[in-house]
């Protein structure tokens, strides 16, 4: 992982929060 990715992940409590945020931001709900 790059330093940028690490610092970014620190801003989110869980991967689910980040995923949910991105879904809302881009209004996409891709199948995982």
Domain count, the chain: 1
The secondary structure of the chain in percent helix, strand, coil, rounded to multiples of 5, reads: 60, 0, 40
Q: Give the separation between CA 27 and CA 31, rounded to whole angstroms.
A: 13
Q: Which pLDDT value is given to residue 11?
A: 61
Q: Which pLDDT value is given to residue 27?
A: 85
* Residue span of the structural domain in which 29 resides: 1-32
Question: What are the tens digits of pLDDT across the range 1-32?
Answer: 555 565 555 565 788 888 888 888 988 766 66
Q: Which pLDDT value is given to residue 5?
A: 60
Q: Which pLDDT value is given to residue 31?
A: 64
pTM of the model: 0.40
């Amino acid at each position: 992982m790059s330093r940028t990715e690490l610092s970014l992940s620190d801003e989110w409590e869980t991967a689910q929060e980040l995923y949910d945020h991105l879904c809302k931001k881009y209004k996409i709900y891709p199948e995982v």
